[in-house]
């Protein structure tokens, strides 16, 4: 389990990214395109052209981390704008990683009303 601080921000790089890239070239993309510091502790999420693969880069203060996830079915929901970034919450990232539409998650369980 990866524990994220409450102040961490999650950035989705809009458009599609060449998934052959590793941490060095993705962090350069963060610096040059998004004008952000990839070593500041925020998470940066990139999606491939087909939409079934994402990569997340994160610098945890001790070293660089690169996470990859591929969906067996379906595609990751992604912003349609290109050339920038969209910030989402850590909770929305959890939905995204589960293959759920992070923009409008559907509540599937409700506790019974008391009484």
- Mean pLDDT to the nearest integer, 44-62: 93
DSSP of 32-67, one letter per residue? III---TTSS-EEEEE-SSSSEEEEEEE-SSSEEEE
Number of H helices, E strands in the chain: 2, 5
Residue 87 covered by a domain = yes
pLDDT tens, residue by residue, 66-101: 999 999 999 998 887 766 888 998 888 988 988 888
Task: Provide the domain count of the chain.
Answer: 1
Phi, psi of 68 (to 5 degrees): -130, 140
pTM listed for this prediction: 0.84
The set of residues, in sequence order, having a beta carbon less than 8 Å from that of 80 and lying 6+ positions away, is 14
Q: Provide the residue range defining the domain that includes 55.
A: 10-97
């Amino acid at each position: 389990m990866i524990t994220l601080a409450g102040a961490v921000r999650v950035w989705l790089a809009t458009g599609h990214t060449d998934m052959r890239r590793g941490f060095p070239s993705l962090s350069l993309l963060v610096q040059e395109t998004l004008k952000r510091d990839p070593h500041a502790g925020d998470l940066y999420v990139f999606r491939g052209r087909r939409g079934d693969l994402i990569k997340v880069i994160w610098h945890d203060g001790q070293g660089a981390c690169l996470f990859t996830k591929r969906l067996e079915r379906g595609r990751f929901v992604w912003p349609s704008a290109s050339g920038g970034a969209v910030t989402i919450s850590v909770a929305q990232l959890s939905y995204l990683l589960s293959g759920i539409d992070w923009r409008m998650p559907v509540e599937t369980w409700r506790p019974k009303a008391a009484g």
